[in-house]
Amino acid sequence: MAQPWQYRRRQSDHIPLGGVVPFKSSLETAFIATGFTGAAVQFAEKLRRGVGQSLARLGLLGRVAVILLACLVAGGLIFWLCNELVYFFIARSYTQELADAYDLNRGVTRGILWASFAAIVVLAGFTFSFSKQKRRVGYVGLLSLVIGHSLLLGRIDANFRKNGTAEKCYVMTRTTISTARLDCLR
C-alpha cells in the first residue's frame, strides 16, 4: 500500500466527504491552496530540501544558531518594512491635506509626497543616530516639517478674501451643487 506522501493532489481529484486527502507535503498543499503554479511548488520543494540537507550537516547548536539568525533577519526586514510604510502613510496624509487645501494636481501632489517621504525617512533615521548632532538635526528637521505643514495649511483661507467678503458661493440646481466665484455672479 502506498504511503500518503507518495500521492500528488490535483485539482481534479475527488475529495470524499470526511475522507483523507493524500498529498506530497504540507508545503505543496499550501502552495496549491494559494494558487501557485507547479514551477513555484517545485522551486519551494528544492529550496526546502537544500536547506534541510545543509542544516542536517550541522550540529544541534549550529542548527539553532542558523534558525535564530534567519528569524532575526526576517524579523528585522519585516520591522523595517512596517516602519517605512508608517512613514509613507504619514507623508501621504500630509500631502493629501496640502493638495486639498491648495487644489494641486496629481503630479505635483505625487512629487510633494515623495519629497516629504524621503525627508521623513532621512530625518527619522537621524533621530535614532548615536551622534548627538545628527539627532538634533533629525529633531529640528521633523519639527520643521510638522510646523511648516501647519503653517501652509493655516496660510490658506479659501472661504474669505482679505477684505472679509466671501470667496465662493454655492449654486444649487435640481441635479447638482457647484461652487462659483462671486465675481462671476455679479
Are the C-beta atoms of 124 and 98 separated by less than 8 Å?
Answer: no
Please report the pLDDT score of residue 35 as a whole number. 61
Average pLDDT, the chain: 78
Distance from C-alpha of 91 to C-alpha of 96, rounded to nearest angstrom: 9
Per-residue pLDDT reduced to its tens digit, 32-41: 566 666 777 7
Place of cell 530540501: 49
What is this structure's pTM? 0.55
Q: What is the mean pLDDT of residues 153-157?
A: 71
Distance, in Å, from the CA atom of 9 to the CA atom of 19, rounded to the nearest integer, reads 14
Cα 146 versus chain centre, distance: 22
Mean of the pLDDT values across residues 88-104? 86
For strands 168-172 and 177-181, give the pairing: antiparallel
The span from the CA of 168 to the CA of 180, in Å, is: 6
Q: What is the Cβ-side half-sphere exposure of residue 141, based on CA atoms within 13 angstroms?
A: 18
